[in-house]
Amino acid sequence: MPTLQALIASKYIAKLRQSKDVDAGKIAQLEALFASGKKIKVDELVKLFSAPAGSDIT
């Protein structure tokens, strides 16, 4: 049974996929952050959304 956090994350990702404002690459990277199971740091999100489209987060 998925956790509450996993359910919220999956609904959030589904909404982002419907949006034309966020590209598929960023959505995939965000999904990987959620799937990692570790606590996501603000710096990781800032790096993800401030990076140009098509770049990888490190």
Q: How many CB atoms lie within 10 A of CB 4?
A: 7
- Domain of residue 40, residue span: 4-50
Q: Is residue 35 part of a domain?
A: yes
**Which pLDDT does position 41 carry in this prediction?**
92
Q: How confident is the model at residue 27 (pLDDT cuts 50, 70, 90)?
A: very high
Instruction: Report the C-alpha dihedral over residues 23, 38, 35, 48, rounded to 10 degrees.
Output: 10
Q: How confident is the model at residue 56 (pLDDT cuts 50, 70, 90)?
A: low
Q: Is residue 58 part of a domain?
A: no
**Which pLDDT does position 2 carry in this prediction?**
77
Q: Is residue 22 part of a domain?
A: yes
**Which pLDDT does position 32 carry in this prediction?**
92
**Which pLDDT does position 11 carry in this prediction?**
94
Query: The pTM is what?
Result: 0.72
Domain count along the chain: 1
